[in-house]
Amino acid sequence: MRRAAAALAILLCSPAWALDNPGPDAARQTASAYLDGLAEKALASRSTAVAALSSKADADRRQAEVRSKILKLIGGLPDRSAPLNAKVMAVHAENGFKFETVVFESLPGYRVTTNLFVPDGKGPFPAVIVSPGHSPSGKEGDYRFAANFARAGFVVLAYDIVGEGERWQHYDADLNVSRLERPTAEHSLVAYQSLLVGKPVVRYFINDAMRGIDYLAGRPEVDPQRIGAYGCSGGGAVTAYLAALDPRVKAAASACFVTTMQQLLTSVGPQEGEQSTPGFTAAGLDLADWVELAAPRPYAIVSTTEDMFPFAGAKAAQEEAKRFWKLYGAEDKLVWITGPGPHGALTPIAADIIAFFAKNLNATGTPAFTELRPADPADVRVTPTGQLSTSIGSETVQSLMAAEARALAPEKSKAKSLADAVRAVTAAQPKHSVPAVQVVKTETRSGYRLQTLHFTPADGPAYDAVLARPDGVVKGRLLYLDRAPATRAKLEKLVKSGWLTLAVTPVGGSGEEIKAHVLGDYTLFALRAMLVNRTVTGLRIDQAESAAQWLSREKAERSGIALYGVSSLGPTALHAAVLDKRFDLVVVENALAAFRLAVDQPITRNLPEIALPGVLAKYDLPDLMAAPRRVLVINPVDPVGRSIGRAAFEKLVANAPNVTWLAYAPDDLK
């Protein structure tokens, strides 16, 4: 209890939240432990189901169930009937092979930059598609693997994934870098933008790879019955997905990705939007399920002993997969290639990886690995400038999502069905009992008292709060939600005006690896929540309803409870007021005016903290504002925090006569 109180005291005394602090605070640790407990239950149930498999028929049934679940979770796969419109831009001769720079469209207008390596001699040859890891260089970083594959007798397609190589989505030509700082940040932003329209970004990663196989299969040098897939790290993830869902992949090697979800959650945690499909763990799935969907085809799990993706988890996943392959009488087709070193340190075992493909795809060359580099690094570039955005152009994930959002027809409805939609989208829980509350500290001030409280809900993470209680008559009760705790001056204004004010520390706290400052520090925590079918907003709605249960027992002249949400807690306040009729007055300050704006513009600040799966197919924030109670909106903002003028805002809330707009917070809220 002292630790919780101390953490709250630090927050209350701190003038600003330190974004660069990577260490999780007590609130983050508590919430993460709660979410991991939900994951453990789902994973335990899965383990029981997998252990019961005892025949090929069981394995077939499991594969069908898993494939169906995954396709539903990722929103299906895009249509691949449009032409690739592939164009060879240049050809370069090397020792033992040539490589072409090629661009094709994986979706209409959505271009993929690639290098195609073709061995000397007469084909048709086996082929391998190589998916890159998370590096600014993209396909260029895979040149040495691709070149060695080519010398061993393979046609190789190395390509750039979203946000890497020549496909930076937010490229700054003046700085020659992404405005989001690094590839993982680019992936994270588009993951949350696609989430809003119910199209998890992983479907586009998979589609790019499938279209790469379409291109390989159409080349005369390639035997389409001997196509494999390889990738490391993020590329290992895409390779696992591709092999699981595309039967044209006849052999696959996924490096530095395969582990168990339990080991991942208790170590580095979720890492990427395309690796953390919402509802994946809750659906009874683990990372080994991606591998097992490829059975009984030849498969190599590739691991390094000091990988950040835990080696112990890789061992457990490999052992489970081995049993799965055995049900098909093909346990010899699953191999585990291991080597020393950290994440991605594959040089000592690179020849073994190439030999795996040579054996299983019948290549005629000799497997070997040497450090090969292009004669000129500029040769691998497909576009004249080295970026699609500054040369031949391309759609981006954001532009695709903006088009998807325009095509959506949200289900506009009356209050009851809107409440149902809110619960479905946010995963807020339907019932809340009065939480246990412990008084940690009481302080007497002029005209009021301050109490530090610790709340323990029956179902949900514990949280801290400060209660400001006026000495005189209590005119009203107010629940205050803000990432930065209420300043003493603000609390004093409220409590001296007769408001009994409960300021809570929001679920989730702070502290994690920052992918990019513009994204805030909820990128990975939000993924952890969504894996088990929860959301940050839903957890905070639960917190607000739980706090309201307790606060409603306090007597006041005014019957309802006012709810005040600031910045990223503004959407929480609007959602909670739709679900809990005790909140009859809502004040929202400095908050995003509409989710739709977050896909209409390329960049949105702090989107992971507020993004909700498929919300734009159901409703938007102005729809919540129109629900029947008084709403005061102070300084509504656009996705990057700029104030939205009165005219623009009133256009958004044209059907909400109960909404009042204010440019600035008044000195005295009456």
Per residue in 265-291, pLDDT (tens digit) is 999 999 888 999 999 999 999 999 999
pLDDT at 18 over 50: no
The pLDDT of residue 573 is above 70: yes
Indicate whether this model's pTM tops 0.85. Answer: yes
On whether the CB atoms of residues 117 and 142 are closer than 8 A, the answer is: no
Q: For the residues of 324-361, what is the DSSP string, one character each?
A: HHHTTT-GGGEEEEEEEEETT--GGGHHHHHHHHHHHH
Residue from 172, 197, 204, 167 nearest 76 by CA: 204
Q: What is the pLDDT of residue 7?
A: 32
Q: What is the pLDDT of residues 611-663, one digit of tens each?
A: 999 999 999 999 999 988 899 999 999 999 999 999 999 999 998 889 999 98
User: In the numeric block, which tokens belong to residue 150?
Assistant: 């080519």
The pLDDT of residue 465 is above 60: yes
Share of the chain above pLDDT 70, in %: 95
Segment 395-449, tens digit of pLDDT: 999 999 999 999 987 776 555 689 999 999 999 998 888 999 999 999 999 999 9
Q: Give the closest residue to 599 by CA, choosing from 614, 583, 577.
A: 614
Strand partners, 438: 454
Residue 156 has pLDDT above 60, yes or no: yes
Is residue 23 predicted with pLDDT exceeding 90?
A: no
pLDDT the model gives residue 432: 86
Contact 475, 585 (CB under 8 A): no
CB atoms within 10 A of CB 347: 12
pLDDT of residue 318: 98
At residue 20, does pLDDT exceed 80?
no
Average pLDDT, the chain: 92
Q: At what angle do helices 143-151 and 350-361 cross, to 10 degrees?
A: 40
Number of C-alpha atoms within 13 angstroms, CB side, residue 139? Answer: 34
Whether the CB-CB separation of 153 and 364 falls below 8 Å is answered with yes
Give pLDDT, residue 414.
56
CA distance 251 to 256: 17
**Looking at the predicted structure, is the pLDDT value of residue 3 above 50?**
no
- Give per-residue pLDDT as tens, 315-325: 999 999 999 99
Per residue in 101-144, pLDDT (tens digit) is: 999 999 999 999 999 999 999 989 999 999 999 999 999 999 99
- How far is Cα of residue 150 from the mean position of the Cα atoms in its chain? 35
Q: How far is CA 570 from its chain centroid? A: 21
Residue 10, pLDDT > 50, answer no
CB 554 within 8 A of CB 437: no
pLDDT at 365: 87
Say what the alpha-carbon torsion angle 404, 409, 412, 417 is, to the nearest 10 degrees.
-80
Q: How much is the pLDDT for 457?
A: 94
Give the model's pLDDT for residue 412: 63
Can you read off the two tokens belonging to residue 186?
A: 């680019």
Residue reference for tokens 């598609």: 129
Task: Tell whether the model's pLDDT for residue 667 goes beyond 70.
Answer: no
Residue 549: what residue type? Q
pLDDT in tens, 474-523: 999 999 999 887 677 778 888 888 999 999 999 998 888 888 889 999 99
Closest Cα partner for 560 from 491, 623, 490, 630?
630
Does the structure show a pLDDT above 50 at 459?
yes
pLDDT at 320: 98
In this prediction, residue 9 has a pLDDT band, given cuts at 50, 70 and 90, of very low
What is the mean pLDDT of the segment spanning 291-304? 98
DSSP string for 109-170: TEEEEEEEEEESS---EEEEEEE--S-TTGGGGGHHHHHHHHHTT-EEEEEPPTTSTT--SS
Name the residue among 595, 577, 581, 551 with its Cα closest to residue 631.
577
Let me know: does 118 contact 220? Beta carbons within 8 Å: no
Instruction: With beta carbons less than 8 A apart as the criterion, state whether 473 and 498 touch.
Output: yes
Q: For the residues 451-460, what does the mean pLDDT come to? A: 93
pLDDT band with cut points at 50, 70 and 90 for residue 469 = very high
Q: Which domains does the chain have, with CATH numbers?
A: 72-402 (3.40.50.1820), 416-662 (3.40.50.1820)
Peptide bond connecting 124 to the previous residue in cis, omega within 30 degrees of 0: yes
Q: Which residues pair with 327 in a beta bridge?
A: none
- Return d(Cα 43, Cα 284) in angstroms, integer: 6
Whole-Å CA distances, 226 to 193, 217, 361, 363, 485: 37, 9, 5, 9, 60
**Above pLDDT 90, what percent of the chain?**
85
